[in-house]
Amino acid sequence: MSLDLTFSDEQAGILDAIRKFTKERCPGETVRELAGKFPTELWAELAELGVLPIATEDGGGGALEVVAAMEALGAAVFPGPLAETFLATQILEGDELQEVGAGESIVSLSAAPRGDALSLVPWPEQAKVSLQIDGTNIYRCKTVGSPEMVTSLGGDPYGRVKLERTGEVKNAARGLALFDIAVSAYMAAAGDDLVEVTAEHARTRKQFGRTLGEFQAVAHPLAESSIALSASRTLARAAACAFDEGRDDANGLAAGARLSARKSALFTVYASHQIFGAMGITLEGPVYHVSRRIRQLSSAGASVAVAHEEALALFGINAVSA
Amino acid sequence: MSLDLTFSDEQAGILDAIRKFTKERCPGETVRELAGKFPTELWAELAELGVLPIATEDGGGGALEVVAAMEALGAAVFPGPLAETFLATQILEGDELQEVGAGESIVSLSAAPRGDALSLVPWPEQAKVSLQIDGTNIYRCKTVGSPEMVTSLGGDPYGRVKLERTGEVKNAARGLALFDIAVSAYMAAAGDDLVEVTAEHARTRKQFGRTLGEFQAVAHPLAESSIALSASRTLARAAACAFDEGRDDANGLAAGARLSARKSALFTVYASHQIFGAMGITLEGPVYHVSRRIRQLSSAGASVAVAHEEALALFGINAVSA
Amino acid sequence: MKFTFSDEEEAFRAEVKEFLKDYQDLNGFFDQGHDWPSVREFFKAMAAKGYLSVCWPEEYGGLNKSASYEYIVWDEVAYARCARPPLGPGIVAKTIIRYGDDEQKKRWLKPLRDGEMHFSLAYSEPEAGSDLASVRCRAELKGDKYIVNGQKCWQSYAQDMDYFWLLCRTGTQESRGRGCSLMIVPKDAPGITVAPLPLMDDDQLNEVFFDNVEIPVNQRIGPENGAWKLMNAALADERHIQFPPSRLRRDLEDVISWTRDQGLLDDPVVRNTLGDLASQVLEGEVLGLSVLDAMMRGEHGVMEAAANKVAQTISCQNIARAVTEFGGPESLVKGTLSELIWRQSMWETIGGGTSEIMRGVIARNSLGLVAKT
Amino acid sequence: MKFTFSDEEEAFRAEVKEFLKDYQDLNGFFDQGHDWPSVREFFKAMAAKGYLSVCWPEEYGGLNKSASYEYIVWDEVAYARCARPPLGPGIVAKTIIRYGDDEQKKRWLKPLRDGEMHFSLAYSEPEAGSDLASVRCRAELKGDKYIVNGQKCWQSYAQDMDYFWLLCRTGTQESRGRGCSLMIVPKDAPGITVAPLPLMDDDQLNEVFFDNVEIPVNQRIGPENGAWKLMNAALADERHIQFPPSRLRRDLEDVISWTRDQGLLDDPVVRNTLGDLASQVLEGEVLGLSVLDAMMRGEHGVMEAAANKVAQTISCQNIARAVTEFGGPESLVKGTLSELIWRQSMWETIGGGTSEIMRGVIARNSLGLVAKT
């Protein structure tokens, strides 16, 4: 078999099924309303679809199935710790894995804090599995004391709390690679969704007697977005293939996909806000619930510096000797 | 006296005089022909105009006069070590200063090499005064052995040679500030010149039945160039004022001006090349003799990291403790 | 050439700074919508010092100062984050001074000067954003009253203001900019409905609906169908204070301080970004001064103001975006400045003339390019 | 889904790589103009392996392979920096195969396949660059000959090639793209003058003047006034090899190696830049594969090719510009790769369809935007 960049029928089926599900259950209004809350019902319904454990031995799929799911979920800006859950399915076992896959156990992933500072932890009140990234390592943690709740740009509840490490996770690299793949597919799809609504606006809204889309200052940034996002989307798929084939370059491609997706999705966020003008900055408008989520996701996972190192490893550079 | 952003009559006179001189003696063809050579005649003629020592005690002016001169010289892409010479006039004394001001002694300024590597020195065969920048320090040097000649993008002859430090210069900060001011004014003016010829092209060249300038994809990048260059030009002038008034913020403004000018001039280079298309990449065309010079000058002087530190000092940050 | 202010101007600045010390906790620049009573009091206190009418002629109770004093006031107020220049004592009052009749001057100028009367700009409509010459909100003269019908959109602060400065159509639709008039409309006039449009920066814009609203003809300022000239003159009056550069400086200083607190200040990549932003702030400062300088020389400053608007608003976004880039999740927590300015600055390149419109202005007027599309 | 090639394809790649080992010092990708005799020999050697006619049908002496084999050939040749795909065995031959008559096929295909006959593209004119439908170079039919008069401009490699692939006007000027024909014109035909236009990358383009040049009518390929269809089909034939992504990979690898030699590789700011460039190269690689994939599925790949062209050429400039940014004066010395690609890559976003044209293609066809201007 040679090159083939299309989803298998089964993968396309996953994408379609979730699209159908999100269209019905997770329109823009719902995403806006859910800001600040855990999407309890949606999460249970998504779990019922069998998506969460799909990349496990019993799940019947791999990273490509995750990508198919995340492309549909990203296009709907579906809430909740999606990529974190896929990560967790690569490092948990037994009952814990079962519970996460069933949507009964929520996963929280946070970055190691500086020195003695408190950790900034998403979903501190819901999470049963608390993970901490430090460089390319992942630690299991328990929370000490109760979190001081804050709100973050993306809308998810976060808490500042002390985390105590209870052990290091074995296959962190695999987990982080799947996280990167999943979050890239999601961000690229969310960006595509923005391009689509913005292009629709540009096709219809008139100023100075012509549609916005007739102005190159509008059309060209959107074209650039579309190009950049198609690269990101395809790179996430390529990384997923490498992951599923167990290839050496999977981690580097996954990191590259995340670097690519965060850049192209953020570029799209800024272009869409600008083109929508005042309409784009309203709370109920078509942009903000997407843009806040993209901005938040683009800071999730291992640091950008770590991603750079992994991508550079594909060009024969070893990690910096610092 | 309050705010006044216009040149004095005397400064405007300098600008006009040099414009007249360069228009006659240094058109684009001359600049192209001189690539790879020292502009011996032009240098002598420029010296005769009394420009080089203008910012010395006997020169009758200061940094603003240097800026007026450099705006005219930059617009003509005038060759030779101009900013280096202005730097030298701040750190030399007596006969040496006299000779540099009279155009009889040529100044070469190079960066300290890594470890034992040879230095990459401009005008190694002409220079009587060889200076080396290391961080914010300047050293007098003598060359050991004969240089291995190379050509650099800007067209000036360079040589690889061993430099031996013969002493540290006292008022390096003042010299570097004037260098930054001078080179910023030059780059901004060279950029403005590019904008002008590119706009002229865009006003006249037709494609698809309309002038290029009617396409926002052409007009807007040029407008951005024009905006950015006007900021750089004005910042160079502001730094010159601060320099002449002996203000504390002169160094920071000068560094900020150089950061600004290199960015806006390079942006303009890329926009002009793109808009001129095939015409812009020809050797004899209207862009390359400007773009190569801007690219070369934007790498001259203290490092970008040093310039960042100096600009940041204006915002209450002390140099990094590394 | 001189990029600094005179001793008198600096003395005035010191006085303004002293005055502002009492308002260090006032966050009206970003949050006027939630703290209007305090901002209103602040404006009254400014009025008492004459700061709302710095450039007005003495005969109308102004300080009769040059534009540089007004620049200093609003630049310091922006640095202190207290407020943005209010419309009433600015555009509205200056237009009345220039084009109003004696009765109008008598009626409106004192309350404006005293900070007692506040205006919301009612120019934009759902189908007329950048293209104001296509406004449709209609005022028909019946006897000595105009009957106003139509809709305005994207009105800042309309929820709290007392009056609208209304651009409406009095000529044919086809007459475009030559068929519009400007009127003073009290918000409590019967037939007016204000509906909020909540914004991503926690502020709000408003839609305003006019349903047979009656406006006495003597509340029209300037000639019928003469709005365009008045609006251009008003723009010219405010160019130097449209985007005070100290807002940028304060943003960067606050970001640097946050970065230090996070232990990121010695990170070379962060440092590289901050150094670049520092040069952008310096650029903004000289561009701001360029607008003022043009005005002080009696020029229109159209090019300078367009350049200033584009460059500063983009730099302001660059600062916000850079810190959310290097600051990671911590920079996205609500309550951090970085998070707020990320959301808030999205508006800056849109409101008051989009970057695209401004680039077109430069392309046409400065570069001679048609760039009509 | 699969982003890699089959075992057979990989075996073929290994063979190509083996072949290329003998040409490691050939720098025809950047410098064909100065080393044409060597490049010509290289093409002959490629021809001997069948590499110039990988996708041609067997009946014309081709290997009758799928587009993926052609992709592999030219991607490896680009990585090795040996040459760019030549016009003759590509566009010209494929057009003859598709639209030529039997006599034309007999006459031209063998020398093309054997690397004996080389073409320069004669499309652009001084007043027709991006807008080819406005070409003015005129061919008038007199008996069994066309008399060609006019000028072409920006012709790559014309100084060394044997023939022109000439786009000329055979209909009215107003008929635009519907009034053009394609012809094979030997460079040594009387009345042709080639004048060099030296370039900033030390290569050259050429102007070509046609003064009553006589071309037998049987050197017209396809119908009179039918050029547009042929040109579009020819574009479609070459989309997958227009910008082989391994050029980018090699650029970045070479830049990294230079950066290491300069002792800059551990500088965090440099590292940050290189990491970003690495992701751009990976993007380029999957975009290149997307074009191939579309073609292998029998689609046109117009969108994929436009995206690929814009993204890869800009990334290629980004690599060059980044190293001259962090590499200081050393990176500007002639003879360094960074300096050469800084100059050379300026052309990449222009030749073969400018980035602006490509963005317009995406805006129109993919986003449904009119974007006519």
Q: Which residues of B touch D (CB under 8 A)?
A: 110-111, 114-115, 120, 150-154, 158, 206-208, 210, 214-218, 266, 270, 273-274, 277-278, 280-284, 288, 292, 295-296, 299-300, 303, 305
> Which of the four pLDDT bands, split at 50, 70 and 90, describes residue B322?
very low
Residue B102 phi, psi dihedral angles, 5° rounding: -85, 0
Q: How far apart are CA B77 and CA B188, in angstroms?
A: 11
Chain C residues with CB-CB distance to D269 below 8 A = 268-269, 272
pLDDT at D234: 87
Q: How far apart are CA B153 and CA A130, in angstroms?
A: 55
In whole numbers, what is the pLDDT of chain B averaged over residues? 95
Q: How far apart are CA D189 and CA D200, in angstroms?
A: 30
**D135 has pLDDT over 60:** yes
Identify the CA nearest to C117 among candidates C108, C105, C126: C108
CB D211 within 8 A of CB D195: no
Task: State the residue for tokens 């403005």.
Answer: B192
CB C305 within 8 A of CB C295: no
Q: Where would I find the H helices in chain B?
A: 9-25, 28-34, 40-48, 63-75, 82-88, 94-101, 172-204, 216-244, 250-276, 288-297, 304-313
B260-313 tens-digit pLDDT: 999 999 999 999 999 999 999 999 999 999 999 999 999 999 999 999 999 999
Q: Residue D372: helix, strand or coil by DSSP?
A: coil
Amino acid letter for position D97: I
Q: Where would I find the H helices in chain A?
A: 9-25, 28-34, 40-48, 63-75, 82-89, 94-101, 172-204, 216-244, 250-276, 278-281, 288-297, 304-313
Identify the CA nearest to D29 among candidates D87, D81, D88: D81
pLDDT at D237: 85
Neighbours of B149 (CB within 10 A): 12
Question: Distance, in angstroms, between C292 CA and closest chain B CA?
Answer: 9
Total number of residues shown for chain D: 373
**C262 has pLDDT over 80:** yes
Mean pLDDT to the nearest integer, A47-60 = 95
**Mutate which of D153, D332, D348 to disrupt the B interface (most B C-beta within 10 Å)?**
D332
pLDDT at A320: 52
Domains of chain B: 9-101 (1.10.540.10), 106-171 (2.40.240), 173-313 (1.20.140.10)
Residue C24 phi, psi dihedral angles, 5° rounding: -65, -25
Query: Two tokens at D348?
Result: 């990449």
Total number of residues shown for chain C: 373
Chain A residues with CB-CB distance to B220 below 8 A = 216-217
C157-177 tens-digit pLDDT: 999 999 999 999 999 999 999
Query: What's the Cα-to-Cα distance from A153 to each of A140, A295, B127, D84, rounded to whole Å?
Result: 26, 8, 58, 49
**What ranges make up the beta strands (E) of chain C?**
119-122, 138-142, 145-156, 163-169, 180-186, 192-198, 204-216, 220-221
Domain with CATH 1.10.540.10 in chain D: 7-85
Question: Distance, in angstroms, between B217 CA and closest chain D CA?
Answer: 7
Instruction: Count residue pairs from A and C with Cβ separation < 8 A.
Output: 98
D187-220 tens-digit pLDDT: 999 999 999 999 999 999 999 999 999 999 999 9
pLDDT at A322: 40
CB A22 within 8 A of CB A72: yes
Identify the CA nearest to A202 among candidates A276, A285, A284, A291: A276
pLDDT at D373: 44
Q: How far apart are CA D305 and CA B89, in angstroms?
A: 56
Q: How far apart are CA C308 and CA A140, in angstroms?
A: 51
Mean pLDDT to the nearest integer, C238-267 = 95
CB A120 within 8 A of CB C330: yes
Query: Which long-range contacts (C-beta less than 8 Å, at least 24 apart) are formed by C215-218?
Result: C215/C139, C215/C145, C215/C146, C215/C147, C215/C148, C215/C183, C215/C184, C215/C185, C215/C189, C216/C144, C216/C145, C216/C146, C217/C141, C217/C144, C217/C145, C217/C146, C218/C101, C218/C103, C218/C104, C218/C144
CATH code: domain C242-365 is: 1.20.140.10
**Which strands sit side by side in the sheet containing A106-111, from one edge to the other?**
A106-111, A127-134, A137-151, A157-168, A119-122
Total number of residues shown for chain B: 322
Domain with CATH 2.40.110.10 in chain D: 119-225
SS3 content of chain D, % helix, strand, coil (to 5): 55, 15, 30
C278/B256 Cβ within 8 A = yes
CB C360 within 8 A of CB B219: yes
Chain C residues with CB-CB distance to A206 below 8 A = 127
**D372 has pLDDT over 90:** no
Pairing label, strands D180-186, D138-142: unpaired
Question: Distance, in angstroms, between B4 CA and closest chain A CA?
Answer: 35
Sequence-distant (≥ 6) Cβ neighbours of residue D197 within 8 angstroms: B282, B284, D153, D154, D204, D205, D206, D207
Neighbours of D207 (CB within 10 A): 17
Q: Residue B101: helix, strand or coil by DSSP?
A: helix
Chain C residues with CB-CB distance to D268 below 8 A = 267-269
Determine if residue C145 is left, alpha or beta; phi over 0 gives left, psi from -120 to 50 gives alpha, anything else beta. Answer: beta
**C241 has pLDDT over 80:** yes
**What ranges make up the beta strands (E) of C86-245?**
119-122, 138-142, 145-156, 163-169, 180-186, 192-198, 204-216, 220-221
Radius of gyration of chain D (CA): 21
Radius of gyration of chain C (CA): 21
CATH code: domain C7-85 is: 1.10.540.10
**A151 has pLDDT over 70:** yes
B180-198 tens-digit pLDDT: 999 999 999 999 999 999 9
Query: What's the Cα-to-Cα distance from B117 to each of B163, D255, D338, rounded to whole Å?
Result: 10, 20, 19
Q: Could you tell me the pTM of the whole model?
A: 0.96
Helices D302-326 & D268-296 angle (0-180, nearest 10): 160
Question: Distance, in angstroms, between A90 CA and closest chain B CA?
Answer: 40
Question: Distance, in angstroms, between D83 CA and closest chain B CA?
Answer: 21
What's the ipTM?
A: 0.96
**C370 has pLDDT over 90:** no
Residues 106-125 of D with CB under 8 A from B: 124
**Mutate which of D201, D258, D356 to disrupt the B interface (most B C-beta within 10 Å)?**
D356
In whole numbers, what is the pLDDT of chain D averaged over residues? 95
Residues 33-72 of D with CB under 8 A from A: 66, 68
Sequence-distant (≥ 6) Cβ neighbours of residue C354 within 8 angstroms: A274, A277, C130
Residue D342 phi, psi dihedral angles, 5° rounding: -60, -45
pLDDT at A112: 96
Identify the CA nearest to D194 among candidates D153, D224, D232, D136: D153
**D128 has pLDDT over 90:** no
In sign, the C-alpha dihedral spanning A218, A223, A226, A227 is: negative
**Mutate which of D266, D269, D273, D325 to disrupt the C interface (most C C-beta within 10 Å)?**
D269
Q: Residue D195: helix, strand or coil by DSSP?
A: strand
Q: What is the dihedral of CA D42, D46, D49, D51, to 10 degrees?
A: 170
Q: How far apart are CA D268 and CA D117, in angstroms?
A: 51
**C341 has pLDDT over 60:** yes
Share above pLDDT 70 across residues of chain B, in percent, rounded to a whole number: 99
| Architecture (CATH level 2) of domain D119-225 | Beta Barrel (2.40)
Query: Two tokens at C312?
Result: 């500063």
Residue A29 pairs with which residues in a beta bridge? none
DSSP structure string for A255-290: HHHHHHHHHHHHHHHHHHHHHHTHHHHBTTSSSHHH
Task: Please name the member of B154, B216, B281 whose beta carbon is closest to the beta carbon of D346.
Answer: B281
CA atoms within 13 A on the CB side of B54: 26
Burial of D370 (0-12, 13-18, 19+ CB in 10 A): middle
Question: Distance, in angstroms, between B221 CA and closest chain A CA?
Answer: 10
CB A233 within 8 A of CB A71: yes
Nearest chain B Cα to C5, which residue?
A: B2
- Give how far the C-alpha of residue D216 lies from the chain's centroid of Cα atoms, to the nearest Å: 27
C306-318 tens-digit pLDDT: 999 999 999 999 9
Q: Which chains touch D (3 or more CB pairs under 8 A)?
A: A, B, C
Radius of gyration of chain A (CA): 19
Q: How far apart are CA C340 and CA C334, in angstroms?
A: 7
CB A210 within 8 A of CB A219: no
Mean pLDDT to the nearest integer, B150-155 = 94
Query: Two tokens at A233?
Result: 């989307």
**D28 has pLDDT over 60:** yes
**A319 has pLDDT over 70:** no
Identify the CA nearest to A288 among candidates A183, A161, A198: A198
Q: How far apart are CA D333 and CA D368, in angstroms?
A: 46
Mean pLDDT to the nearest integer, C305-331 = 97
Task: State the residue for tokens 């550069």.
Answer: C245
CB D23 within 8 A of CB D80: yes
Neighbours of C103 (CB within 10 A): 9
D269/B281 Cβ within 8 A = no
**Cβ of C356 under 8 Å from any chain B Cβ?**
yes
Chain D residues with CB-CB distance to B202 below 8 A = none
